[in-house]
Homo-oligomer: A and B are copies of this chain.
Amino acid sequence: MSNLDEENNILIDTVREFCEKNIDEKKIEEEKIGKNMNSLLASQGFLGAKIGDKYGGSALDDTSYHIILEEISKYSPSIAMKIFMINSLYMPAVINTEYESILSDVSSGKVNVSVDFMNDKYSLDYNSNVSGIIKNILNPDSKNIVLFDKKTIIAESPFKINEKDFMGFKGLKFGDIELDNKYNVVDDKNRKEDIILNSYNDLSAIALGIISGAINKAMEYSKVRTTFGAYLKNYEPLAFKLSEMHSKENILRSILYNNLDKYYTFNFAMDSIVEIARFSVNIHGGYGYFKDFGVEKFYRDAVILKSIFYGNEQLRQLSNHVYSEKLNFI
């Protein structure tokens, strides 16, 4: 990572040290991200990584923000997702609106906020009332939630939550909400697409962390586990595949931090993540199927991340982007 400078490297060390000391993902998945963890994340400036300092945030540049997302994802994709939802999705929706002052309570961990990714349908009336069902939302226990209708709106708590169990980003609460709430318009346009487009590199950083966490688990295991009288790493088909995946991890890191076109980086991340996480589980044999070994969570979160953020719509955007480019040849 020669493209990162001294300051970046100090940040990497700091985040790793924090994670080593404070993050027990198994516990987080069981108990959800609680008050203590929120305070810890806030005190490190992670919750408000991109939020301006007038709201108590860290106002970090992109590289630093990506380092935080990557490093935390290696330990806890759930926490990274929480930070991402605040900084990459919620903040861009509320900044420069009457809601931006809430960012203080967000960066200090006092309140949760959320964004509805689903293509849910709502009914809005003239009394600023929104009704309908929000399905499958992360962080339903929020102060308010950004919804994308024809306009970009914010629904105000309290919410009637039907909490559900869910196997991805399990550190966050998850469920459906029966809406019958007040709302306010924060933008006259539906900003979903533009907000997600702007977050491609952030998502790639989370993907990189998941990939890296999974591969490292697998490589470590391949060095200590024996079968048929030899270490796993001495079985060439496994070693070759792990090494190829490790190459891809480093390529993704290189293009992310070298700031290659975000469409390419995101496509590469989404193209690699599931295969890598899946194979990292496989390497562990039966143990990989159990939570205790801390590898299956990467597979779950990899698939869920891709399900939420990468589909035909994103491929269409990539394709439009590519076909509108001047080709580098002829």
Interface residues of A (CB under 8 A from B): 1, 3, 74, 212-213, 216, 219-220, 223, 233, 236, 239-240, 242-244, 246-248, 250-251, 254-255, 258, 260-261, 263-265, 267-268, 271, 312, 315-316, 318-319, 321-323, 327-330
Across the two chains, which residue of chain B brings its CB closest to A329? Answer: B216
Expressed in whole angstroms, the Cα–Cα distance for A226 and B262 within the complex equals 30
Q: Is the CB of B318 within 8 A of A247?
A: yes
Closest CB in chain B relative to A139 CB, distance in Å: 28
* Partner among B212, B315, B321 whose Cβ is within 8 Å of the Cβ of A329: B212
A329 to chain B: which residues have CB within 8 Å? 74, 212-213, 216
When C-beta atoms are compared, the residue in chain B nearest to A220 turns out to be: B330
The residue in chain B whose Cβ has the minimal distance to the Cβ of A213 is: B329
Within the assembled complex, what's the spacing in Å between the Cα atoms of A219 and B328? 12
Whether A243 contacts B327 in the complex (CB less than 8 A), given A250-B264, A264-B251, A312-B236, comes out as no
**Chain B residues with CB below 8 A from A250, complex form:** 260-261, 264
Known: A212-B329, A240-B316. 12 other contacts (CB 8 A): A216-B328, A216-B329, A216-B330, A236-B319, A243-B267, A244-B267, A244-B271, A244-B318, A250-B260, A251-B260, A251-B268, A254-B255
- Cβ of A232 to closest chain B Cβ, rounded Å: 11
Q: A212-B328, A315-B236 are in contact. Are A247 and B219 (CB under 8 A)?
A: no
Query: How many angstroms from the CA of A82 to the CA of B322 in the assembled complex?
Result: 33
Shortest Cβ distance from residue A75 to the other chain B in the assembled complex, whole angstroms: 10
Q: Which residues of B contact A264 (CB under 8 A)?
A: 247-248, 250-251
Chain B residues within an 8 Å CB radius of A220: 327, 330
Smallest CB separation, A105 vs chain B (Å)? 33
Which residue in chain B gives the minimum CB-CB distance to A252? Answer: B251
The one of B1, B255, B319 that contacts A239, using a Cβ cutoff of 8 Å: B319
**Contact call B255/A319, Cβ cutoff below 8 A:** no
- State whether A267 touches B254 (Cβ < 8 A): no
Q: Which residues of B contact A255 (CB under 8 A)?
A: 251, 254-255
Contact partners of A268 in chain B: CB under 8 A: 247-248, 251
CA–CA, A315 and B237, complex, Å: 10
Q: How far is the CA of A271 from the CA of B323 in the complex (A)?
A: 24
Complex CA gap A213/B327 in Å reads 11
Kindly report which residue of chain B lies nearest to residue A318, judged by CB atoms. Answer: B243
Q: How far is the CA of A251 from the CA of B263 in the complex (A)?
A: 11
Residues of chain B within 8 A of A321, CB atoms compared = 243
A315 to B246 Cα, complex, angstroms = 13
| Chain B min CB distance to A12 (Å) | 9
Task: For residue A112, give the distance in angstroms from its CB to the closest CB of chain B.
Answer: 29
Give Cα distance in the complex from A326 to B70, angstroms.
Answer: 18
Interface contact B219-A327, CB-CB below 8 Å: yes
Which residue of the partner chain B has the closest CB to A250? B264
For A323, what are the chain B residues with a Cβ–Cβ distance below 8 Å? 219, 223, 233, 239, 243
Please tell me if the beta carbons of A240 and B327 are within 8 angstroms of each other in the complex: no
Closest to A261 in B: B250
